[in-house]
Chain A
Amino acid sequence: MDAILSLDWFLILTSLAKTLGIIFLIVLPMVSYTVYAERRVSALIQDRIGPNRVNMPISLLGFKKDLVLPLGGLGQPVADAVKFILKEDLTPAHVNKFYYWLAPCLAMVPAILTLAVIPFGSTFFGVPMVIANVNIGVLFVFAIASLGVYGIVIAGWSSNSKYPFLGSVRSSSQMISYELALGLSVVPIFLIIGKLNLSEIIQYQIRHGWLLFPFTAFFHSTWSELVHQLILWPWTIISFVVFTISIFAETNRLPFDLPEAETELVAGYHTEYSSMKFALFFLGEYAAMITGSSLIVVLFLGGWHFPGVPDGSQGWVWGLVNIAVFFGKVAALLFVFIWVRWTLPRFRYDQLMRLGWIWFFEIALVNIFITAGILAIFPN
């Protein structure tokens, strides 16, 4: 009894509230509306209109059409979800049942799990807006995010069919060649900041300016700090470019969508999947996009910080504003993801390997040494 009472119930309950809140109120709706945004933006880029028919079921007095807002299409994700749930859930006879059922979960879970360490706001009524404020933040993200490949590999293998298998083999080799560049490209950031904790990385960026735009701290930093930031700026930009492109590869987005490659592999690793199991892969992919963008925002774009906006200790309104700023930045990055997808064609397989092993691995490695050298000459 004492053991139960001595637990930190406040921490447990707030963590539970944060977990449920961020997953069900923010990330899952964001995932479904990213899918919608993907369809609308791709349509606009291709001079089409896109899904604009399914309206929001909004009613003023309970009648069918008493309130029609010009929100055409915003009901589309709801319709999609209903369709996925109602579709027949087919398990082909030739698959390995256990792994076939396991794979969609493995694709979905890591993408959501990485959100645990990402600080999505400052504080809200004194509660820090991060589910788990661990000191190994980024390492945790890399460790869990690379588990995502298991979902794809197991899906391809258990489907017992050649196209999913090819997709999953491609995916695993792609992951290996990009994870190195992904990990190495952020090492300069940790050399500069000296911390792995994502909240402290944001605190550093508030004091010294965002790593990608050091000018956000222009007015409250000394000249020597500014010069220091300016010397490091080109190298953080290189880090940013390599990291962002690696995130594209990590989340299987075009131009690196070789595991799915509709034109070559039917649908890649999820060819044999239907209804909600397919939807889990789909959700996992977009959730991975969101965690990837949040990671970019936290590491390079100052997280929830915006110049001139105070943090949550100044009142709960500012806490909310910080959360909105964070997800605004994430949404902007998601738009870039979509924009790039509908611009670039897919890389050929050998080009991808070349890019990963010959270019990004070396660039990231050299970048570490240059940053280390600069920091040795001009220490903080």
Chain B
Amino acid sequence: MAFDPSMLGIALPLGVGIAAAGSGVGIGNAVGKAMEAMGRQPDAAGKIQVGMIIGCAMIEALTIYALLVVFILMGKLA
């Protein structure tokens, strides 16, 4: 079938949903391990927290890339 712009109506939200799921798993993992490490050594909590924030932002960026594709293609949804 030819490219029908209304196919984007299901493809775009699905894409963002899958990207969000992936980053949810990644960030949950990262934060869990960070919590564990902070529990083991409360003195290093500050450094661990900073590293966790930076790691989470990098993982979040991948979801933002998917959202950007939605913004770019949103005009074609007609």
Bound pair (A, B) = no
List residues of A whose CB falls within 8 A of some B CB: none
List residues of B whose CB falls within 8 A of some A CB: none
